Structure 1
Amino acid sequence: MTDNKWASFKVAGDYSTDVRSLYEAWATTEGIEKWFLRKANFYTIPRRTREPHEFIMTEDTYEWFWHGWPDDASEKGQILEANGTDTLKFTFSGGSIVTVYIYSRNGVSIVELTQENIPEEPDLTKNLYVQCQLGWTFYLANLKSVIEGDVDLRNKNVDLKSNFK
């Protein structure tokens, strides 16, 4: 068995805000829609939709929708861990796992995101390692822009598609 060096990556960003605010930005519908998603639905085990300010919990499921993409391009998955303070883990594209860890160091808060279990893809145009790493890098930058300056960098113009062709 060969070691797949394309099976995981880690990206991180620093933020001039507190850990609690960053956790809320990831772990509530209202928070995650401000910087990442057009629409987020989080569902409890009995399939109740969580309220916008309500924290997600371990074993919740989700359905996510992005700006610039039709509703049939949604992402569905499960929350594997949500500890209520600084750690989230969820399933993501291709059966991969994303872990978000938020902590404070030297007067700033850090978001450290690891995506692992990324499947090998022979078609390089569908390479999740590259596509997800680019995506997360942008969205972590957008999180910083929204939290620190209230400027959303996402393209919300539906007439401009993501590839601009």
Structure 2
Amino acid sequence: MEDTRWKKFKLCGDYNVDMRSLYLAWSTPAGLEKWFLRKADFFTVPMRMRAANEQILKEDTYTWYWHGYGNEIVQKGQILEANGQDFLKFSFTGDSIVSVSFSTRHGLTIIELEQEDIPQEPDPEKNLLVQCQIGWTFYLANLKSVMEGGKDLRNKRVELTSCFK
């Protein structure tokens, strides 16, 4: 039997923010740039770039740019599902898949993020499961900070990148 412990993980966060606002923070270029990315470009199937507040749809492709890195460091992928309300799924690093589900409980919006199909890496420093889990934990916390209090915790200074490696 194959050991799948290193192929997927799941994270959850609770937010004192309405579900619609959180969904838009994940499903529009402007929303993602508010808490996650320096620049989020999404392209429709005929390769039209989506407007800043336009919601992404299944089969869109994306090019993402990170704070702290130049334009040569990008993440490219595709939106696999986007129901417009409470679920997103997209391809991510190393051909892994990220699913994001939104629900409400006890007056809070709950976000569940699962990353699966993570390739195993023999070099521990390049372990995608560990690196992605650390990254998503930070970004889910930053989403909470930005949406609930307005404080962005990201390092946006390229000259400081080396001290975080």
Please tell me the TM-score bracket, short chain as reference.
over 0.9
What's the TM-score, normalizing by structure 1? 0.97
Q: State the distance in 1 between where 2:164 and 2:26 align.
A: 28
Q: Where does residue 148 of structure 2 map in the other structure?
A: 148
Deviation at 1:71, TM superposition (A): 1.2
Q: State the distance in 1 between where 2:23 and 2:41 align.
A: 17
1:45 aligns to 2:45 (yes or no) = yes
Q: Which amino acid aligns with 1:85?
A: Q
Change (3 A) 1:162 1:9: farther
Q: Which amino acid aligns with 1:16?
A: N
Q: Where does residue 116 of structure 1 map in the other structure?
A: 116
1:14 aligns to 2:14 (yes or no) = yes
Change (3 A) 1:162 1:96: farther
Q: State the distance in 1 between where 2:155 and 2:62 align.
A: 23
Superposed structure 1 runs of 4+ greater than 6 Å apart: none
Q: State the distance in 2 between where 1:143 and 1:24 align.
A: 12
Q: State the distance in 1 between where 2:94 and 2:160 align.
A: 26
Q: Which amino acid aligns with 2:64?
A: W
Between stretches 1-10 and 138-147, larger displacement belongs to 1-10
Q: Which amino acid aligns with 2:33?
A: E
Quote the sequence identity (%): 62
What's the TM-score, normalizing by structure 2? 0.97
Question: Tell me, which stretches of 5 or more residues in structure 1 are unaligned?
Answer: none
Question: Tell me, which stretches of 5 or more residues in structure 2 are unaligned?
Answer: none
Alignment of 1:58-69 (within 5 A): 58-69=58-69
Q: Where does residue 160 of structure 1 map in the other structure?
A: 160
**Helix, strand or coil for the counterpart of 1:52?**
coil
Deviation at 1:48, TM superposition (A): 0.3
Aligned partners of 1:68 and 1:162 also within 8 Å? no
Aligned residues: 165
CA RMSD of aligned residues (A): 1.0
Q: State the distance in 2 between where 1:6 and 1:116 align.
A: 9
